[in-house]
């Protein structure tokens, strides 16, 4: 719309001498009307077709990959650019078309504006060619899995950065600074809404705690479902908690109808697990898609195993303890990634072997002994679950041999 108004203003001001431009439109009013009408009508038709193709892609995604992945397709930048280009070209032609007058009414043909309309039509054709390729690509399993894996990598970088900043006081010092009567004297702050916790504004909580000289202990994490009245956090001391404080602290907890990836690192892991479970279902029976999910999970957890876990204790500028927020444990993420795939894939030899290889890969990246324990547990459960489920003794022997190799690698 802005481009149409700008081009019409240039045409009306005769700022450009059309005789000096060989490439500009030189037809009369009837030709200009026909040209812009053809472009506008074709853009509406193409936009409707693009919408239909997008809906089909959404239906395929919902049936093959799960309804929770529809958000990825709706937020796809390529689809937004394509549909936006078609609608923008239609609106441009419509706005320019209304200004074309014949000889019986103050003859005016915005030649430069019509030329720009032709350029937009050619650009729309190029965008249509791109959309045909893009629409067939985004519904492929490899593309969907890679997209979710990128979200997992982004969540790891946000929530588990490589550089943790300035070192805080030791954990023993932080625990010693917690009042002994904290649990008895703390005031619970309850949720005023129902939904999934999407984001916690930790900076706002830190500001409120410093302002009122409070100590906060978060009792929930992003990704959890909360009903109205559930406890969000404990505030100490109770005497300094006012209705205004309760209202302000509730504003730091953003609730929504669904989980998001912003602060919930389990959300992309659950998406990869869901794709793998659907692929392993008897109706689809696609173990290769499940293997791709396992590979992406192992890559993400390998990166996470090398990162330092954030401290549970947050301090203000005066180095006084203000917030206690327990981070997501590595053991919990390992269980989230492998428990269900292990259970539903125990009858498939290829999946069992790939799970053991994934466990071995993640273990090679662990920098803390405590992080290797849940991996050892998962490996033992994978072998135990496969016993009796694999019909051929040779298949079971392959699993046992690989497990033995993994154990020997750990001990070495």
339 CB-near residues (< 8 Å, 6+ apart):
none
Q: For residue 348, tell me if it sits in a domain.
A: yes
Q: What is the pLDDT of residues 376-395, one digit of tens each?
A: 999 999 999 888 888 888 98
Residue pair 290/351 in contact (Cβ under 8 Å)? The answer is yes
Reported as a single tens digit per residue, the pLDDT across 54-76 is 787 777 777 777 776 666 667 77
Asked if residue 170 has pLDDT above 60, the reply is no
pLDDT at 240 over 90: no
Is 47 within the bounds of a domain? yes
Same domain, 116 and 230: no
Domain ends where: 109, 139, 169?
139
Residues 192 and 314 in one domain: no
Q: Are residues 129 and 203 in the same domain?
A: no
CA–CA separation, 31 and 243 (whole Å): 70
Identify the pLDDT of residue 172: 55
Task: Indicate if 325 and 286 belong to the same structural domain.
Answer: yes
- pLDDT tens, 331-344? 999 999 999 999 99
Residue 55 lies in a domain: yes
Question: Does 214 share its domain with 356?
Answer: no
- My answer on whether 273 and 402 are in the same domain is yes
Domain co-membership, 252 together with 271: no
pLDDT (tens digit per residue) in 278-303: 999 888 888 999 999 999 999 999 99
pLDDT confidence of residue 22: 60
225 and 272 in a single domain? The answer is no
**Co-location of 269 and 194 in the same domain:** no
Q: State the pLDDT at residue 163.
A: 47
In a domain, 202, yes or no: yes
Domain presence at residue 170? no
Task: Return the minimum-mean-pLDDT range out of 24-33, 253-262, 336-345, 396-405.
Answer: 24-33
pLDDT digits 0-9 by tens, 21-42 = 566 777 777 888 888 899 999 9
Answer whether residue 147 is part of any domain.
no
Based on the fold, state whether residues 278 and 405 are members of the same structural domain.
Answer: yes
Out of 224, 256, 288, a domain closes at: 256
Domain count, the chain: 3
Structural domain includes residue 326: yes
> Does 243 share its domain with 336?
no
Answer yes or no: is 324 within a domain: yes
The predicted pLDDT at position 284 comes to 82
Question: Which domain does 321 fall in, by range?
Answer: 152-160+265-411
pLDDT at residue 104 greater than cutoff 70: no
């Amino acid at each position: 719309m802005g481009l149409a108004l700008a081009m019409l203003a240039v045409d009306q001001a005769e700022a450009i001498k059309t005789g000096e431009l060989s490439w500009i439109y030189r037809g009369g009013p009837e030709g200009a009307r026909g040209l812009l009408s053809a472009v506008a009508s074709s853009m509406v038709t193409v936009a409707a077709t693009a919408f239909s193709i997008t809906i089909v892609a959404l239906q395929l995604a919902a049936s093959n990959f799960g309804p929770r992945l529809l958000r990825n397709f709706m937020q796809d930048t390529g689809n937004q650019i394509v549909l936006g280009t078609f609608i923008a070209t239609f609106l441009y032609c419509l706005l320019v078309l209304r200004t074309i007058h014949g000889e019986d009414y103050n003859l005016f043909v915005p030649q430069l504006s019509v030329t720009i309309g032709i350029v937009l039509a050619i650009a729309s054709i190029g965008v249509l060619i791109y959309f045909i390729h893009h629409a067939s690509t985004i519904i492929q399993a490899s593309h969907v899995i890679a997209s979710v894996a990128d979200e997992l990598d982004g969540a790891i970088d946000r929530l588990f950065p490589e550089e943790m900043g300035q070192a805080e006081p030791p954990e023993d010092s932080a625990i010693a600074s917690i009042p002994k009567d904290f649990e008895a004297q703390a005031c619970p702050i309850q949720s005023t809404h129902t939904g999934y916790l999407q984001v916690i504004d930790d900076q706002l909580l830190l500001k409120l705690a410093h302002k009122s000289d409070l100590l906060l202990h978060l009792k929930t994490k992003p990704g959890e479902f909360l009903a109205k009245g559930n406890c969000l956090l404990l505030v100490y001391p109770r005497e300094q908690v006012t209705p205004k404080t309760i209202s302000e602290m509730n504003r730091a907890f953003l609730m929504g109808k669904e989980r998001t990836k912003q602060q919930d690192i389990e959300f992309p892991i659950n998406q990869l697990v869901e794709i793998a479970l659907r692929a392993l279902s008897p109706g689809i029976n696609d173990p290769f898609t499940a293997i791709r999910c396992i590979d992406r999970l192992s890559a993400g957890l390998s990166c996470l195993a090398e990162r330092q876990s954030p401290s549970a204790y947050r301090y203000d500028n005066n180095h006084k303890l203000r917030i206690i927020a327990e981070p997501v444990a590595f053991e919990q993420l390992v269980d989230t990634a492998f428990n269900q795939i292990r259970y539903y894939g125990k009858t498939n030899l290829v999946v069992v072997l790939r799970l053991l290889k994934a466990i071995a890969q993640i273990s090679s990246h662990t920098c803390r002994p405590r992080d290797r324990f849940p991996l050892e547990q998962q490996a033992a459960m994978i072998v135990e679950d496969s016993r009796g489920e694999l019909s051929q003794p040779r298949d079971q022997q392959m699993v046992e041999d690989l497990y033995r190799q993994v154990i020997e690698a750990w001990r070495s």
